[in-house]
Amino acid sequence: MKKYIMGYIPLVILAYLIPFTFLQKVHKFYGSFLFWIGYALIAIYLMAKMMGFWKNED
């Protein structure tokens, strides 16, 4: 589970780095739209993997 949590660190850094550096001069809407779709899919995948480790122990 720790590797999935550690996977979020570069993801958060990329969320700030990519739009304000690489996509700064892209004036078309689809440039950032494609990035955020990919970002969301990766974040959902990592979150689903992390939630798979949770157990309901009664």
pLDDT digit string, tens, across residues 37-53: 999 999 999 888 888 87
Which residue would you say has higher pLDDT here, 31 or 8?
8
Q: Which domain holds residue 40?
A: 2-51
Task: Give the chain's domain count.
Answer: 1
With the CA atoms of 18, 19, 25 and 29 taken in that order, what torsion angle do they form, in degrees rounded to the nearest 10?
A: 120
Confidence of residue 58 (pLDDT cuts 50, 70, 90): low
Average pLDDT over every residue of 12-37: 82
The answer to the question of residue 38 being in a domain is yes
Confidence of residue 8 (pLDDT cuts 50, 70, 90): confident
The answer to the question of residue 7 being in a domain is yes
The answer to the question of residue 32 being in a domain is yes
Distance CA 20, CA 34 (A): 15
The answer to the question of residue 58 being in a domain is no
